[in-house]
Amino acid sequence: MARPEPEPEHENANEKANREAEAKALKTLAGFAQKDIKEGRTISSGQLKDRLAARKRTTEQ
């Protein structure tokens, strides 16, 4: 059985950068959501999921 070849270094760096960007985006969205709740504004969970999905698409491009 052949061992899988390790991924090139640049791919690992790209994946790490993508994870960091996604974590930052989620933290930002959570901050906005907390502020909205404090100010009496709410959105449905479906709308929040749509915003998260849209953000994920933009970070992947």
DSSP 8-36: PHHHHHHHHHHHHHHHHHHHHHHHHHHHH
Using the structure block, give the residue that is written with the tokens 């749509």. Answer: 50
The burial of 48, by beta-carbon neighbours within 10 Å (0-12 exposed, 13-18 middle, 19 or more buried), is given as: middle
Q: Per the domain annotation, does 6 fall within a domain?
A: no
Q: Per the domain annotation, does 1 fall within a domain?
A: no
Q: Per the domain annotation, does 5 fall within a domain?
A: no
Total tally of structural domains belonging to the chain: 1
Radius of gyration of the chain (CA): 17
What range defines the domain where residue 24 resides?
16-60
Q: Which residues of the chain, if any, have pLDDT below 50?
A: none
pLDDT computed for residue 60 by the predictor? 65
pLDDT computed for residue 15 by the predictor? 87
Question: What is the pTM assigned to this prediction?
Answer: 0.52
Q: Per the domain annotation, does 11 fall within a domain?
A: no
Q: Per the domain annotation, does 2 fall within a domain?
A: no
Q: Per the domain annotation, does 10 fall within a domain?
A: no
Q: Per the domain annotation, does 38 fall within a domain?
A: yes
Distance CA 18, CA 47 (A): 23
pLDDT computed for residue 2 by the predictor? 61
Q: Per the domain annotation, does 33 fall within a domain?
A: yes
